[in-house]
Amino acid sequence: MPVLYKGLQLEAELRLDVLVEDSVLVELKANDAMLPFHHAQVITYMKLMQKPKGTLSNFNCTNIFKEGQKTFVNGIYKALPGV
């Protein structure tokens, strides 16, 4: 993923897991717990790529629907027509 800062492209090793329909970022994990760092990672990717929605999924849990996923939306999503 290219990183632009003040018009300059920076050398960075950021890699997004999945991008769905050019609008939803999906970050996949298999950790003991979802930490604030993981939330910040998804939000940062959303800002850098100018995408309205993101999902963080952790497969190392007993019930992925109750404790293994978190969805994020930002101002881009709220500004979409019809939302």
Alpha carbon distances (Å) from 18 to 6, 23, 49, 68, 82: 26, 10, 13, 17, 25
Task: Report pTM.
Answer: 0.77
- Distance (Å, whole) CA 74 – CA 81: 14
Position 5 scores a pLDDT of 73
- Provide the residue-wise pLDDT of the chain in tens; the chain has 83 residues: 667 778 888 777 777 889 899 889 999 999 998 899 999 999 988 988 889 999 999 999 999 888 899 999 988 866 667 66
